[in-house]
């Protein structure tokens, strides 16, 4: 069985090299809109999505994220857009983190479908659990009681996508 959606799911890759050129507003809206259609527990639509293109805030995010990794270089791979996803803390909504991950997944697949590259970036939970992170969340006009889920580095890929690595044997089982 095959169709365009299944092909896109099989050919999407994490992009770790981006062109400096900013994506268009229409492309950004398409990706963000796809995130809003991710399934959420009880259709609560708990996640909050913030797209950042402001160079000053991007520099701050790079610095903050770098504090929680031993990697060298920009943890967002110099992407011109960073999309942050937040959710309610578990004591407020237990499904929030799972809902936020589905939002990120939808946006990654949408980005690929329209010719953009993306890479899931971790450590937003730790970043936004700091005093500086909470201040930035306030600056971004987010409500109290949220936590970071993850982020997408988003932009035009700087080089062709690699082929898929082989899938592990026995990845899934069918029980009838």
Mean pLDDT per 10-residue run, the chain (176 residues)?
92 97 98 98 98 98 95 95 98 97 98 98 97 98 97 98 93 96
Question: Which pLDDT belongs to residue 50?
Answer: 98
Question: Which pLDDT belongs to residue 111?
Answer: 98
115 half-sphere exposure, CB direction, 13 A CA radius: 5
Fold assignment, 4-155: NADH Oxidase (3.40.109)
Write down the domain spans for the chain.
Answer: 4-155
How large is the greatest C-alpha to C-alpha distance in the chain, in angstroms? Answer: 55
Residue burial 18-38, b: 16+ Cβ < 10 Å; e: rest: beeeebeeebbebbbebbeeb
| Count of C-beta atoms within a 10 Å radius of residue 1 | 3
Whether this model's pTM surpasses 0.85: yes
Question: Which pLDDT belongs to residue 129?
Answer: 97
Question: Which pLDDT belongs to residue 71?
Answer: 84
């Amino acid at each position: 069985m095959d169709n365009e959606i299944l092909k896109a799911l099989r050919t999407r890759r994490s992009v770790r090299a981006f062109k400096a050129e900013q994506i268009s507003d229409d492309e950004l809206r398409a990706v963000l809109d796809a995130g809003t259609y991710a399934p959420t527990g009880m259709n609560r639509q708990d996640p909050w999505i913030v797209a950042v293109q402001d160079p000053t805030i991007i520099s701050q995010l790079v610095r903050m994220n770098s504090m929680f990794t031993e990697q060298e270089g920009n943890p967002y791979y110099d992407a011109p857009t960073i999309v942050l996803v937040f959710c309610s803390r578990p004591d407020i909504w237990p499904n929030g983190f799972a809902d936020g991950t589905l939002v990120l997944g939808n946006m990654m697949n949408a980005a690929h479908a329209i010719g953009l590259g993306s890479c899931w970036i971790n450590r937003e939970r730790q970043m936004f659990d700091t005093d500086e992170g909470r201040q930035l969340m306030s600056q971004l006009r987010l409500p109290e009681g949220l936590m970071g889920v993850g982020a997408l580095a988003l932009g035009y890929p700087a080089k062709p996508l690699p082929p898929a690595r082989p899938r592990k044997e026995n990845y899934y089982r069918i029980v009838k």
